[in-house]
Structure 1
Amino acid sequence: MFVVLLRFAANRAAAPRLMDGHNAWLRKGFDEGSFLLAGGIEPKAGGAILATAASRAEVEARVAEDPFVAEGVVAAEIIEIAPGRTDPRLSFLAA
């Protein structure tokens, strides 16, 4: 399980121009089952994604495909979590 933090970076002003590509990238991640949750970091500091993958390298490769990352709109931080305890509603994360 991975938490991907996408914090705004130096090229933040390019976000509107790249938004369609970023949204297509997010849609692809959800369609392929890699992304479980995505949303904004408040107050307007960037975004965060809860992702699944077979390896960290797989997540890194997927994140590198985000136009926001490629164009320096955001800086990505990937945090790997080994779920050991979950609320019953999230038991599928511990599998």
Structure 2
Amino acid sequence: MFIIILRLTKNKGHLAEGHFTEHKAWLSQGFEDGVFDLAGRLADVGGAILTQNATRDEIEARVARDPFVIHGVAQPEILEMSPSVASDAMRHLIPQGNQ
């Protein structure tokens, strides 16, 4: 599982609006492909995406295709997480070997 942090850059103001529709389509494709599980804004930072069902190389390649990354709106950070404890509602995200 990976957490993608998209930190807005100083270019965010004049660039984000012009690429938001493309970024939203990129997000939708990640959900359709079964790779993205959750996405949302981070107050005063940018956004975050919770992912699974992909390798680090696949995630890095996917993030490199994000229009916000391509056009300098956001700087990505990819964190790998091995969940081991979860609420009942999120237990399905824990791999069988980690429970």
Q: Which band: TM-score by shorter chain?
A: over 0.9
- Matched length: 94
Q: Does the alignment pair 1:31 with 2:17?
A: no
Q: Distance in 1 between matches of 2:47 and 2:89?
A: 24
> 1:13-50 deviations in whole A, cap 9, x for unaligned?
2000001100000000111111111110113x211110
Contact 1:53 1:59 in 2 (8 A): no
Q: Distance in 2 between matches of 1:25 and 1:33?
A: 13
Unaligned runs of at least 5 residues, structure 1: none
Residue identity in the other structure for 2:84? G
| 2:3 equivalent in structure 1 | 3
Give 3-state SS (helix, strand or coil) of 2:24's partner: helix
Q: Distance in 2 between matches of 1:94 and 1:76?
A: 24
| 2:67 equivalent in structure 1 | 67
Unaligned runs of at least 5 residues, structure 2: none
**Cα distance, 1:69 vs structure 2:** 0.4
Q: What is the TM-score when the length of structure 2 is the normalising length?
A: 0.89
Q: Runs of 4+ in structure 1 displaced over 2 angstroms?
A: none
CA RMSD after TM alignment: 1.1
**Cα distance, 1:84 vs structure 2:** 1.4
Q: Does the alignment pair 1:16 with 2:4?
A: no
Q: Distance in 2 between matches of 1:18 and 1:54?
A: 25
Q: Percent identity?
A: 44
Give 3-state SS (helix, strand or coil) of 1:84's partner: coil
| 2:54 equivalent in structure 1 | 54
Residue identity in the other structure for 2:15? A
Q: What is the TM-score when the length of structure 1 is the normalising length?
A: 0.92
Residue identity in the other structure for 2:67? P
